[in-house]
Structure 1
């Protein structure tokens, strides 16, 4: 039996429906009367016809029927709590949900109409500035965004404008050869988007096992020159969760400025780490207590514990945000100041963030961060002790393991409780793992991607993907341990991973076939096709290919 034959399901279904000329029943009631009587979800016309795909239907159904139809359609989605691929938070207390729904219709852009909401926004900016150790009296400034992607665009634009102003003041060209920005090849795609969208040369610093799969400050210095607008340092790699060395990068840039006179600032991409490091590693130096750090972004909807749709960016002082980027608006009833890429947006996520600050406090965020990391360590150890897997993430290893035994003994072991995250290597509660070398030698025919596919059949969403360029021959599986992932769920996913692995080890053809046929399909239609022949598709030096 062939499994490769393609069947056009739309054609088959269109041929299988009842023929219109065979319908002889005539109704005496009007269409409107029929819709009022048959307003049940499963007695509407969409019970026997496909839901519209490409055009708005000429006649609608009742709100109740529409809700039930869409609700049932979305049952095919994965379960958010079992989506271990995502950093995005999926749970809030009922009181938080209630506040969000009460304020879902408020437009954050309308500052004059919603002054109390603007006060909440200002308080959140102040709280984050204090959390990230902004200088006292320095007048830190910031804004909410749609997410860290928008925040990175804003931070990058501020770096570019400040570089341009410095070049112009020195009588130098801003076009030849033009600005560049430096960050690791492990960067999230938003950093590359900034460079591509705003005409900044993207200088990617190669990463590998010797650099703990993140950007090495020493290696980054090789890519810096007088046209570098800044270095983006990542506090929590999406690949392994490891923190890049902000303080080490700043020290080298200080030395560079002393030699050359070139001031190269740092923007910290703390999309995830901004709500982990201050609570789990309060002694760790990475934020505005380092003078060279001019701006920091984070995602409220990740470890800030708010639903999707919220990011933040803070500048250490007003001087770091060029005034030419700030818009003065007059047409909503008062004078308002704005620096965003978007305009209208719901204020609800901002209110959700303020709720979390009040509800959890510093101690609550710390307890959650410690719990997430504890469960991630449990998962890491269980996978490694099976002998089938090795972890590339380090948060289960005592502090100093990646630096040398001397530092381990002097810096890590004394003074810390083993239940305290500060005893271990710093990072996000992320577990990145792959088949061990021994397993690969003994079972060369077992494909690691099959683990992803068979876990998906059990409703777990665990991605398998390649490491960044320079080490992209290595695939990893990655699990993000969020607040909703309890120790009980950790146990369940470990059991499923090991059972799946052992079924593949036994040479089960059924397991291998299931792994193949459950591979997620990529849907392409006339409205969303990727052009694989694009000239840049094969030549890009990053993992983020053009369409």
Structure 2
């Protein structure tokens, strides 16, 4: 959850009163009076008194007036279906929405009051345990959380407590030098939060192009010692969507334990991959069928296809969750057992998850995962065929092509099915891309972040940001292909990306030619001049029809025509 600071409005507006643009704003009210109240489009129809912006009003307004005011203000938010930056799911069937609204007032913490809800929670834990291949006869244990961030905290705490118990049993100190945890520099911020909040040394394993921008098991071993409470392996990097090698990491840790006697467990951060890998890659080994994996977390509100916020964490057996972390509660009418960082939360997302399990089944989840990955491959190919972009994500490349074809892979590819995700490099339906080297050489003045900004003007939300430390000089644009992103939307976003790119190219050409004619284009002003030109009228022939409809069945089809020259 984001932190917000209190706003001292008197100070803020006293400083802003002489702002050069304030003189253009005219209002019949005094400046002080106007700045402290809400002035909605329909305020004159509803208002009985003015509403302050930053303090609770002494007297409220009608529910209808309050709704209209808030509703209008929220119109400034982005459109969820066009938010291609987020992994969070934004759509459910009407029946799922109805169940959520019918149960939104139920407090999941009150187990005695809502026994049917608790039964549904237990069944969800069992379904996930089975999906993640808990050994037959195993006594897995788990809980719903507010999201993967909370789940990671719980998983990390269990690792820390088990390490402390082992150290104490061996008569060793738990303070000198203290615990450490190992994960890749590509980790989501929740993993670093765990280390910082709970006094565990964070050992980040550098990533780069040679490791496919994710943690290499071999490289990770250089950071492991007897004080390592565990390794967190990420099933689906937020940067490129690539899966880290859980099985390879486990094999090296097995060898390490044989040599040293130090048992280092694995927690799998499957925030997104936990609902992708089992369905898209059912033969892939990453879960509890690997003995060294002691716990797994996932987000129900990502590819579990539920509205925010719902996470899950499962431990392979009760022994992996120290009893000292479990609280026995008596003050809600019966004996209840709890292991969470918060207490009260709505039961509605859990019920939504159960609805999805029943409604979709394994085949439904598999179909959605395959569709998402198919659309992500379409997007990747279209971007790369333009020649302007290159993808860092690999889910559109046939399996093994990024590391060289082996004899085993050759056999596997004999029955290649271009519609089946299992024949491609494994990962999330995420497309990470950047300007190609040729494009950057021809148009060095064009900044990649401009693509993000100009897409935002068309309502698309596509982030542009740097890769992790060690390769943070490289920026990527990233699109998450969710269920709500159809092939039609893929086509539209590709057309907009390429149209924006070619517009920048043509502006660059125009400015370059103008500079040659007038000699008035100094290097120091090139960026500001470019941005000013981009917002101006077109300077080249209309190319709105140069992007033909995407057709994934014709790999050699050219989707763009360019008229640009070197900047």
Which TM-score bucket, shorter chain as reference?
0.7 to 0.9
Give yes or no for contact 1:416–1:422 (8 Å, CA) kept in 2: no
CA distance in 1, matches of 2:226, 2:88: 37
Q: Size of the alignment, in residue pairs?
A: 547
CA distance in 1, matches of 2:259, 2:20: 82
Give yes or no for contact 2:325–2:339 (8 Å, CA) kept in 1: yes
CA distance in 2, matches of 1:172, 1:145: 34
TM-score, length of structure 1 as denominator length: 0.86
CA deviation after TM superposition for structure 1 residue 418, in Å:
1.1
Structure 2 CA distance for partners of 1:531 and 1:143, relative to 1, 3 Å: farther
Moved more, 393-402 or 26-35: 26-35
SS at match of 1:465: strand
Give yes or no for contact 1:305–1:356 (8 Å, CA) kept in 2: yes
Is 1:176 the counterpart of 2:152? The answer is: no
**1:115-148 deviation line (CA, Å, top 9, x unaligned):** 0000000000000000000011111000000000
CA deviation after TM superposition for structure 1 residue 410, in Å:
2.0
CA deviation after TM superposition for structure 1 residue 11, in Å:
9.9
**1:252-274 deviation line (CA, Å, top 9, x unaligned):** 00000000000000000000000
Q: Partner of 1:17 in structure 2?
A: 17
Q: Partner of 1:528 in structure 2?
A: 548
Give yes or no for contact 2:85–2:480 (8 Å, CA) kept in 1: yes
Q: Structure 2 stretches of 5 or more lacking a match? A: 506-522
Give yes or no for contact 2:465–2:476 (8 Å, CA) kept in 1: yes
Structure 2 CA distance for partners of 1:4 and 1:175, relative to 1, 3 Å: closer
**1:463-505 deviation line (CA, Å, top 9, x unaligned):** 0000000000000000000000000000000000000000000
Give yes or no for contact 1:230–1:265 (8 Å, CA) kept in 2: yes
CA deviation after TM superposition for structure 1 residue 405, in Å:
2.5
Alignment root-mean-square deviation, CA: 11.3
CA deviation after TM superposition for structure 1 residue 545, in Å:
40
Structure 2 CA distance for partners of 1:546 and 1:500, relative to 1, 3 Å: closer
CA distance in 2, matches of 1:368, 1:143: 25
Give yes or no for contact 2:502–2:562 (8 Å, CA) kept in 1: no
Give yes or no for contact 2:549–2:559 (8 Å, CA) kept in 1: no
Give yes or no for contact 1:187–1:238 (8 Å, CA) kept in 2: yes
Give yes or no for contact 2:385–2:559 (8 Å, CA) kept in 1: no
Q: Structure 1 stretches of 5 or more lacking a match? A: none
Structure 2 CA distance for partners of 1:528 and 1:72, relative to 1, 3 Å: farther
Structure 2 CA distance for partners of 1:433 and 1:46, relative to 1, 3 Å: farther
Give yes or no for contact 1:100–1:349 (8 Å, CA) kept in 2: yes
Moved more, 34-43 or 241-250: 34-43
Is 1:30 the counterpart of 2:47? The answer is: no
Structure 2 CA distance for partners of 1:535 and 1:312, relative to 1, 3 Å: farther
Give yes or no for contact 1:398–1:412 (8 Å, CA) kept in 2: no
CA distance in 2, matches of 1:278, 1:181: 27
CA distance in 2, matches of 1:528, 1:229: 54
CA distance in 2, matches of 1:523, 1:54: 49
CA distance in 1, matches of 2:552, 2:381: 41
Structure 2 CA distance for partners of 1:473 and 1:510, relative to 1, 3 Å: closer
Structure 2 CA distance for partners of 1:17 and 1:118, relative to 1, 3 Å: same
CA deviation after TM superposition for structure 1 residue 70, in Å:
0.2
**1:16-43 deviation line (CA, Å, top 9, x unaligned):** 9999999999999999999999999824
TM-score, length of structure 2 as denominator length: 0.83
CA distance in 1, matches of 2:33, 2:12: 33
**1:356-415 deviation line (CA, Å, top 9, x unaligned):** 000000000000000000000000000000000000000000001122123585254123
CA distance in 2, matches of 1:21, 1:393: 44
CA deviation after TM superposition for structure 1 residue 54, in Å:
2.0
Structure 2 CA distance for partners of 1:441 and 1:48, relative to 1, 3 Å: farther
Moved more, 100-109 or 43-52: 43-52
**1:43-101 deviation line (CA, Å, top 9, x unaligned):** 45887998633211112110001001100000000000000000000000000000000
Moved more, 327-336 or 410-419: 410-419
Give yes or no for contact 1:537–1:546 (8 Å, CA) kept in 2: no
CA distance in 1, matches of 2:45, 2:467: 49
Give yes or no for contact 1:288–1:316 (8 Å, CA) kept in 2: yes
CA distance in 1, matches of 2:381, 2:549: 42
